[in-house]
Amino acid sequence: MLVLASAGVVGLALALAFRLSLPLLVLAGVAAGGGALALEALVALRHAEPETGGDAAAVRVKLVDTSAIIDGRLADIAASGFLEGRLVVPRFVLRELQRLADGGDAQKRARGKRGFEVLQRLQGLETVTVEIVDDDVAESREVDLKLIELARRRHGALITTDYNLNRFGDISGIMVLNVNDLANAMKPAVLPGAVLRVQVLREGKEPGQGVGFLEDGTMVVVDQGRTRIGETFDVVVTSAIQTAAGKMFFAKPVHG
């Protein structure tokens, strides 16, 4: 409004200087005022435009939890170029890895040491930047609660392989990038009627069933497979279901 008033005064002064008639005087004032409004609107729009230095989703900070570090596939994904940007590892996640590595259980020690090895590999990649942060959420004692709160504070995504943390993040409104979901999405589609080669390793839950696994870990429940435990043979897929752990196929032996 200040710009409009100033323009009106300038228009009036110019009209009087050139000794314009009353109708022309009015037109001059309207023209100057309209030009001022247009300029003011343009300036307002320029200030209202967001800074779009890039896609907001692409530059979103990503917090990494303990399970995703220990899993190891995150480093492979980053090395392939499908993951880039800043990976934030809170100090309390490092402390959890250290507790595992120093624990009395041999399996947990191996998991902790593997976590540090994966972290070192991530730090050596050019596609990502690993940032260790000291932000600690004092009011939350559980690591999962701290991760959720930190992700909320930083408006970031959470990378995990933990199913329960995934659900907790979804409920809390946090973007969750689950490595298992990515792995399942990358598996080739297997439709009923497809023939697979499977080794039956153990009994199934139902009478007569045997259970085997594909190379990628997908479970295959084989009808009439109980009596063929230890054998490797062709099966034809009859159906598939989606579970929390991924897809599971039901099949029956191919009879020659």
Q: Which CATH class is domain 195-253?
A: mainly beta
pTM, two decimal places: 0.62
Domain 62-185 class in CATH: alpha beta
What pLDDT, on a 0 to 100 scale, did the predictor assign at position 231?
A: 93
Ranges under pLDDT 50 in the chain: 2-4, 7, 9-12, 14-15, 18, 20, 22-28, 30, 32, 35-39, 41-58
The full DSSP string for 232-251 is: EEEEEEEEEEEETTEEEEEE
In tens, the pLDDT along 85-132 reads 999 999 999 999 999 999 888 999 999 999 999 999 999 999 999 999
Domain layout of the chain by residue ranges: 2-48, 62-185, 195-253
